[in-house]
Structure formats: structure tokens, C-alpha cells
Amino acid sequence: MRLLFILFLVLVSIANGEVDSDEVIDKFESIQEREQPKTVNISVLIHRIDNIGTPRDSVTLHMVLLQEWEDSRRKFKGSENIAVESANLNTSNWTPLLYFPSVLKTDPFTVYKTISPNRKVETRQAIQVTIPCRHNAWRFPSDEYSCQLRIESQHRDNVVITWMSSHDSHMMDSVEEVKIASPFKVSRIEHSSRADSTTKNEGKNMKHLIVDIGVKREAGSYYWFSSIQPSIFLLVLTWTSLFLNREKFILLRISLALVSLFAVQALNFVVNSEGRSSGGQGNVVDFWMQLSSLLIFIILIENVIIAILSTRKRKETEEGVYFTDRSKHSDVEKLPEAMDYLAKVFFPLVATLVLIITFFIIYF
């Protein structure tokens, strides 16, 4: 009854011209806005990505954040918008108070605020944030960083944040327009929203917006020619040495295998020192280089065993012991031949199979 009486007095005041009807409507709209959650439309423009992997498994985003909402308290008469600089912003004015959970670093940003006569408020913020990423280092040099930027409001149940529709904003991200240093490229930028499970059960309207970003390294031909191709030449050199005569050129075979082994290890070290390292995580190129070293090492051990057997045979021959009981030495004579045969067959098969798998992992 009291509320009806107050409403009756207000109507009488309006009829007598004592109170402006527009002012009363604005007051009621302001009260209604306070009771209902405020909807804030968000748009993000990422214009540059740098510091990829520095600090480890993270990227730095240079972006512009656009926010739009309606505030009846900011309504005024006129036809032109009011632009407010960041230095002149009144802290008492309502803002969504957005923040970015799980961000490693946020640099100071600039705010530009515009108020329209129809109570529409718009802010633009130039922000630089460093966010953590999941790094799939195994596919190096075609590895990818999967990053996620979350946007939330500190007002909790009083604010509902949503993405702007594409026709309302010209600021939605375009992969082609994002600047990024070579050899990286932006593979995807996806926008989504997700309800917060911790607040949903409490009947609140809290939800957060998500920007999923993919940054992929373009393999190109540099790593192929700088690391994989030289190791292939060394493997071929080691394999062809197996066709040299075991009796006459065993020392040459050992020398070639030993030099090839040191060359592969040195090659792997040099390429890693040039920045090819994937942050201490294993990758397919490292696997190939280590396998090459293992294959060459096996050939080296085989040649050493053959050299030992040849030395033993020559020593026994000189002492006249070798031919006394030839049946005891038949197995020893066949062992070097069998080892050479297995090495000639399985060495190229294993190397070729792993090389094909490595090629497809990197480039497909």
C-alpha cells in the first residue's frame, strides 16, 4: 500500500509538471539495472604475438580489448559522443573490472572510454599479456604451442560477459592479420564461452570467455638440410664401408665408423646450440640423431669384434696352432661373415624406416 501511495504521488507530481517524466523513467531504469545482471559485450583483437617460448612454454599477446555495455546513469542529452582519456577516468564510474586468470604477466595498458547519448559505454584497452601454453615439442620442427586466454569479471554474479557478434564488431581476430616472427605462424584463433562450475551450482551467472590460440612452427627446409641430411650422408658412408674387404681394410672401416660417430654427435650439438632445442623436451629430430649415432656405434662395435677375431686368427696362424684342429675354428670363421651380412641388410632397413616416419611426423 505504501508503494502504491508513493507511485500515486509521483504520478500527481508529473501531471502538475513538478517532476520531469524522463527523469523519473531514468531513475526507475537505473534501479532496475542495479537489480539485474549487467550484460557486457567483449571483443578481442590480437595484433601481434612474440616472445614465443620465453619464458618457457609461453607467449606474449599484444591485443586490444573492446567492452560495451549500457549504463542509464551515463545517459545525457545531446547528439555527440563524449570521449574520456584514461587519465581523466572517474574511479566512481562503473566498469566490468575484467581480469585474466592464469596470466603470467600483464603490462600496464591504456584505456580509451567513449560515452554515447543513448547511455552506451565503450572502452578500448591496449593490453600486453604473457600466457602459459601447452607445447607439443615432439613434432619439432613442426611443433605447436596451444595457448588459452581466459577473461572473467570481478563482479561475479552481477555481470554477464558475452562475445560480440561478428557484424557488431570489426575487431574479431583474423589469423592472417596477426603479426608473428618467422618461422612461426598462427594456426588458429577460436572464441568460446564457458560457465564456471564452481559458481553455477550456487545460482550465479558467472562465466568466463576463452580465446584459444595455436602457434605453429613452420618446418621449412632449414632443419632438413642442417641436421637430417648430413646425418644421412654419414649413415650411408658407414654402411658402404661394410663392403670393404674385412681382412685388408678393417682399420679403415673402424676409422670411418669412428669419424662418422663423432661427426653425428658434433652435428647434433651444433644444431642444438643454434636454438633448435625444444626446451629440454624430447623431439623427433633428436630421436633421429640419437638413432643415427646408435646405428653407427653398432657398426663400430662389429668392426672391432671382426678386428679382434682377425688378429686372433693371424696370431694362431703364425704360431701354427690354427690348422691343427680346424673344426674348432669353423664357427669363428663364419661369425664375421654373418655379422657383415646382418649389418648390410638390417642397417639400411632400420634407418630408412625411421627416416620415413620422421619425415611424415615433421611435414604432415
In this structure, which amino acid lies at residue 31?
Answer: I
pTM score over 0.85: no
Chain centre to alpha carbon of residue 330: 61
State yes or no: pLDDT of 146 exceeds 60. Answer: yes
The pLDDT tens digits of the residues spanning 36-62 come to 668 888 988 898 999 888 878 899 999
Domains plus CATH for the chain? 1-36 (no CATH), 37-217 (2.70.170.10), 222-363 (1.20.58.390)
Q: Which pLDDT score, from 0 to 100, does residue 177 have?
A: 81
How many C-beta atoms lie closer than 10 Å to residue 333's C-beta? 11
The answer to whether 58 and 188 have CB atoms below 8 angstroms apart is no
Question: Between these two residues, 4 and 243, which has the higher pLDDT value?
Answer: 243
Query: At 196, is the pLDDT very low, low, confident or very high (cuts 50, 70, 90)?
Result: low
Q: How far apart are CA 106 and CA 131, in angstroms?
A: 9
State yes or no: pLDDT of 175 exceeds 50. Answer: yes
State yes or no: pLDDT of 198 exceeds 60. Answer: no
State yes or no: pLDDT of 333 exceeds 80. Answer: no
Q: How far apart are CA 126 and CA 108, in angstroms?
A: 9
Average pLDDT of the segment spanning 272-290: 71
Q: How far apart are CA 92 and CA 39, in angstroms?
A: 19
Q: How far apart are CA 59 and CA 49, in angstroms?
A: 7
Average pLDDT, the chain: 76
What does the DSSP 8-state code read for residue 228? I
Average pLDDT of the segment spanning 163-168: 64
Q: Which set of grid coordinates corresponds to residue 75?
A: 545517459
Q: How far apart are CA 215 and CA 144, in angstroms?
A: 6
State yes or no: pLDDT of 95 exceeds 70. Answer: yes
State yes or no: pLDDT of 35 exceeds 50. Answer: no
- How many helices (H) does the chain have, and how many strands (E)? 8, 11
Question: Between these two residues, 87 and 185, which has the higher pLDDT value?
Answer: 185
Highest mean pLDDT among 12-16, 104-108, 157-161, 177-181: 177-181
Query: At 336, is the pLDDT very low, low, confident or very high (cuts 50, 70, 90)?
Result: confident
State yes or no: pLDDT of 233 exceeds 80. Answer: yes
State yes or no: pLDDT of 288 exceeds 50. Answer: yes
Q: Position of cell 551450482? A: 201
Q: Which pLDDT score, from 0 to 100, does residue 324 have?
A: 52
Cβ-proximal residues to 42 (8 Å cutoff; 6+ apart), any chain: 65, 66, 67, 98, 151, 161, 162, 163, 164, 209
Query: At 91, is the pLDDT very low, low, confident or very high (cuts 50, 70, 90)?
Result: very low
